[in-house]
Structure 1
Amino acid sequence: MNLKSAGRQGQDAARQVKNHPALSAVARFGYVVMGLLNILLGWLVLQIALGFGGEEASNAGALSNIAQAPGGRVALWVAVAGLVALGLWRLLQAVVGPEWSTRIKGAVLAVVYLSLAWTASTFARGDSTSEGDTATDVTATALEQPAGVALVVVAGLVIVGVGVGSVFLGVTRRFTKQLEAGAEAGKVGSAIVVVGVLGYVARGVAFAVLGGLVVWAALTRDPEKAAGLDAAFRYIGQQPFGAVLLVVIGVGLGLYGVFCLGRARYADAS
């Protein structure tokens, strides 16, 4: 058996695993977890906008809120399982995707979901972590390396690209192709499309600002500026009409969470 044949057989096996009903069901639960986290994150952003927020408006802040609730650690372990399943689903997509763009998307999302699963596990174990502190430490370490400034600038531009791409998906409604692939008779409800548009745009704006702050941190050699989503939201709030924009983003992130909940009912995870 040559390497090409072995590789083809490996891809066929990966497709069988990816399409297994059990993995599909657990991956759907992963979307439910993402939906709930985004709804909570949107609520934290609204608290900042309305002047009530002392808590961190980031994934870590949302996870911390869950951990402090009665039964929160148990819920977090359940969330870890869902996020790991969703990450593995995307990892398989990176292997068996029909196009290179699909494979790259699968690889990136696999890293995102598995990283979030790791963060959730730290809270489930009773440890505490700050997304802002982690981002600052990573940025500081990178800036100390040869060509570190260029490396951090590139990372920031990639994050900006993710944000712009999210806005593009929302405005053009291209995300509906994912829904139609798993919808019965190709029918997708108009409500989920509306919340998807608003959610993708809001998430895109947040990530674009975050990427800009990372670039700024590199150019000024100040890692404190790259302090995660919480810093991005607070920076937005400090601008003229920033509170209004934060309300829009907070509502949008909540709607993106609702979109993820609706997204979970479709079998295809493209």
Structure 2
Amino acid sequence: MNPDTSKAVASSAQNTPTFRVMARVGYLVLGIVHIIIGAIAVSVAVGAGGGEADQGGAMEQVSRVPFGTVVLWVIALGLFALGVWQIGEAVVERDPDTKKKWGRRVKYLGAAIAYFAIGATALTYALGGQSDSSRSTETLTAQLLAAPGGIALVVLIGLVVLGVGVAFVVRGIRRSFEKQLSLPAGKVGDGVRTLGVVGYVTKGIAIAVVGVLFLVAALTHDPEKAGGLDAALKSLADLPFGQGILWLVGAGLVIYGVYCFARAKYARL
């Protein structure tokens, strides 16, 4: 299949009403996941426990509610659809500037991988399994550190994750996320912009901390220093005024979740 045919097929699929609805459902369930993670982080900050503040912890909380398995299946299918949508965006990208075109394609593909990963976690819990992302991250980091050139690779992973976090912060500050939305004029549009700014900045901080943990693990040769989102958020509590910072980041993730609800309605699809 030549590139033009691939673009035509991808564009045709994206224009189907069913696929658009599934993509919007994907944003809705992404919002649910972030709200639960943020709520867990806030509960940790106030000393109420709350479980793992990551995708696995969020899915575990969902699995405990009535009809939780059904909800998990909806989350998985919605995120898989959203991931496929991002791949389609990468395929049909036509910016005449080659550098910008490939930059956007990398962004779309990175988002697709993230959505697929969260969707896979939801599917694991829907099928009755469990996921320990922090332990998996430590194991993978230990294997990398033990391999030839592994330290450099862990540093590279840390820098990439840190860069993604910084990109989220910049996107929030510059409000570049607005390009993906069709916002109404007035207070509603202003409200969605505010949610986006706060949400992107706080999520970026959380992701950046994950990157820093990878760098610390590489520099200290200690894989236990590495961890996923749960480890990153809980590490904030060890900082001066850490509980307050963790509370703010958790609240910010909740706000990002609410923004995802708005994005489900106003996203350009």
TM-score (structure 1 length as normaliser): 0.93
1:207-229: per-residue Cα shift (whole Å, max 9, x none)? 11110001111121211111211
1:56-91: per-residue Cα shift (whole Å, max 9, x none)? 111111111111222111110111110110011011
> Is 1:135 matched with 2:131?
no
**Cα separation, 2, equivalents of 1:168 and 1:132:** 27
Q: Which residue of 2 aligns with 1:10?
A: 6
**Structure 1, gaps ≥5 residues long:** none
1:14–1:92 Cα contact (<8 Å) kept: yes
One-letter amino acid matched to 1:163: G
1:203–1:252 Cα contact (<8 Å) kept: yes
Q: Secondary structure at the match of 1:238?
A: coil
> Is 1:153 matched with 2:149?
no
**Cα separation, 1, equivalents of 2:186 and 2:120:** 35
2:41–2:50 Cα contact (<8 Å) kept: no
1:94–1:103 Cα contact (<8 Å) kept: yes
> Is 1:51 matched with 2:47?
yes
Q: Which residue of 2 aligns with 1:103?
A: 105
1:76-122: per-residue Cα shift (whole Å, max 9, x none)? 01111101100110111222222222211111011000111111111
Which stretch of the first structure deviates more once superposed, 7-16 or 22-31? Answer: 7-16
1:34–1:257 Cα contact (<8 Å) kept: yes
> How far apart are residue 267 of structure 1 and its match?
4.6
Q: Which residue of 2 aligns with 1:266?
A: 266
2:168–2:200 Cα contact (<8 Å) kept: yes
> How far apart are residue 19 of structure 1 and its match?
2.4
Root mean square deviation of aligned Cα: 1.7
> How far apart are residue 54 of structure 1 and its match?
4.7
Mapping of 1:154-173 within 5 angstroms?
154-173=156-175
**Cα separation, 2, equivalents of 1:31 and 1:189:** 18
2:180–2:267 Cα contact (<8 Å) kept: no
Cα gap change, 1:202 to 1:15, in 2 (>3 Å): same
**Cα separation, 2, equivalents of 1:238 and 1:19:** 48
Which stretch of the first structure deviates more once superposed, 194-203 or 88-97? Answer: 88-97
1:96–1:103 Cα contact (<8 Å) kept: no
One-letter amino acid matched to 1:46: V
Mapping of 1:22-101 within 5 angstroms?
22-98=18-94, 99-101=101-103
> How far apart are residue 187 of structure 1 and its match?
10
> How far apart are residue 186 of structure 1 and its match?
11
